[in-house]
Chain A
Amino acid sequence: MKVTVDGVSFVYPNGIRAVDRVRLDVPAGQRIGWIGANGAGKSTLARHLNGLLRPQHGRVLVGDWDTREHPTSEFAARVGYVFQNPDEQLFARTLWEEVAFGPRNLGRSAAEVRIAVAAALEPLGLGGLATAHPYDLRPAQRRDLCLASVLAMATPVLILDEPTTGQDSRGIQRLTQVLESLRELRRTVILISHDIDFCADQVERVVVFAAGHVLIDDRPDQVFSRSDVLEQARVDGPQLVRLARALELPALPWDVEGFVDSWAAIRTLRTRR
């Protein structure tokens, strides 16, 4: 499902202009990364996509729905939002009930709910804990549970706000697999993350925000080759992009094998010369 952000601005009551005339189209099935320093406006804009915030100027469309014309509870069928703080949503006595909450609200049948819950808990390593109490989980597991509770709703659009915070490499591995399966399902994914390497691996497009504006919006390799823009936005590029720059090489791939291949090829060329 397509998301259209059309000239949106938003000023908080305290006068801070968090989003400033942002224009952004996210086609159906695209995986897009939003990066930028704290306070750049990423989360504020994201809250516009399911109507939690309504634009003061401009408009937001999800498919053919305008966010000003439907309540957030209806947008839940189209946009899944995984928030940063898990403790501000968990209410149920079991993991199973927690994850069933969303699909039930969307009016799914009991059989559909059962399938959706199992399918959401399993890939996050929570399948064996379905009858456990959410509050008995470790903080990182509670975050996984929140993700599962949104995945179970099978929304065409998904927003992940800093999903790697507090996750160890196993958690990041699980997240990677979840994103992989979402790619196969052609879901639209908006990934907000300070973890640039993780983000760069997952998305096909990167938007860099600073002070409520979009500074650049392009393919990841294009964005990460613009060190001037990244510096202006106070964000770092992927580690191996920074290494290539330190070695005074042109921008190379940022995955390990791709980087080593290119690095070796360039070195061979230079020694021959």
Chain B
Amino acid sequence: MSPAPSLYLPQPTGLQPLHPLTKLVLTLTVLSGAISLADPRYVFATYGLILVPLAGWSRILGPFLRYSFRALAPFLLSLVIIQGFFYPGELVIFSLGPFHYKAEGLGFALLFSGRLLVGLGASLLLLLTTRMDHLMQALTQRGLSAQIAYIVVTTLQIIPRFQSRGEAIFDAQRARGLKTEGSLLRRARALFFLVPPLLFSSLMETDARAVALEARGFGKPGPKTSWAVLTDSGGQRIVRALCAVAALAMIGIRLAAVARPR
């Protein structure tokens, strides 16, 4: 069996004990900041001066940095190379034959990478400090439909579920002589014997689960209750309101700047 498919790392301090909505609003505020700020230095400062300290406070700095950079590295590299050469501009930094590497391109690549980094970081911070089921419960209490909340929570588990089931199927096929080692072609061919049972067994299971959920009253109309207790506080409500105002303000300023005729 696969372990609980979640990035959540429980800690008694930091962001973890906060109400899920507080963390969601915080994430959205940082995201709107990343989109609104036009100077790469401010964007990177958002990551370094807001997200990193929050991760440290929540005692997840190690995984936070690891995941951020692992996800960003491929983008960073290709953005810095490709945009430098092909972004329109005049300030040539160096040339490779007919190709000129331009400062405008580098600037754009840095801004874009910075926004990606902040976006990723803010989402990671949410995922690492928040249980998805609790977040969905909080949203359900604010009017989100229970069905949608269920789909969100279970969809996040599809990948680990596929992984563990895929391993079981691979074992069964290898035990019947399927060669999975060797050339790329051979490995690609092996997928042909992996995918149908993977899809079939997953569909069967989803079907059976839908029936089983009905039998446990999932589709029953009327109010639902919750086992988990989400603690909230006046302080957190104020933080959420301030964040929302800040986010709206940043987006408003940005829109005004874009709309202003040059």
Contact = CB atoms under 8 A, between A and B. Distances in A.
Interface of A: 47, 50, 52, 71-73, 75-77, 79-81, 83, 85, 87-92, 101-102, 105-106, 135, 149-150, 153
B201 A88 contact: yes
Interface of B: 165, 168-169, 171-181, 192-197, 200-201, 204
Contacts of A106: 177
Contacts of B200: 87, 90, 135
A89 to B, nearest CB: 4
A240 to B, nearest CB: 36
B197 A73 contact: no
A50 B173 CA distance: 12
Given A71-B181, A102-B176, 6 more contacts: A73-B178, A73-B181, A76-B174, A89-B172, A89-B173, A90-B196
Contacts of B195: 91
Contact of A105 (B168, B177, B192, B194): B177
A72 B201 contact: no
Given A91-B197, A135-B200, A73 B172 contact: no
A89 B169 contact: yes
Given A87-B197, A87-B201, A89-B197, A73 B174 contact: yes
A73 B201 contact: no
Contact of B177 (A47, A77, A92): A77
A88 B168 contact: yes
A99 to B, nearest CB: 10
A149 B178 CA distance: 13
Contacts of A79: 175
A88 B197 contact: yes
A150 to B, nearest CB: 7
Contacts of B175: 50, 52, 72, 75-76, 79-81, 83
A105 B178 CA distance: 6
Q: With a 10 A CB-CB cut-off, give which of B175, B177, B194, B201 has the most chain A CB atoms.
A: B175
A71 B172 contact: no
Contacts of A92: 196
Contacts of B179: 71, 73, 105
A153 B165 contact: no
A52 B174 contact: yes
A33 B196 CA distance: 33
Given A52-B171, A73-B181, A101-B193, A88 B165 contact: yes
B198 to A, nearest CB: 9
25 contacts: A47-B171, A50-B175, A52-B175, A73-B177, A73-B180, A76-B174, A76-B176, A79-B175, A83-B172, A83-B175, A87-B204, A88-B165, A88-B169, A88-B172, A89-B176, A91-B193, A91-B195, A101-B177, A101-B193, A102-B176, A102-B177, A105-B179, A149-B176, A150-B176, A153-B177
A91 B178 CA distance: 13
A102 B179 CA distance: 11
A72 B204 contact: no
A105 B176 CA distance: 7
Contacts of B201: 85, 87-88
Nearest to B165: A88
B197 A90 contact: yes
A153 B175 CA distance: 11
Contacts of B204: 87
Given A91-B193, A101-B193, A85 B181 contact: no
Nearest to A152: B176
Contacts of A149: 176
Nearest to B174: A72
Contacts of B171: 47, 52, 72, 83
A70 to B, nearest CB: 11
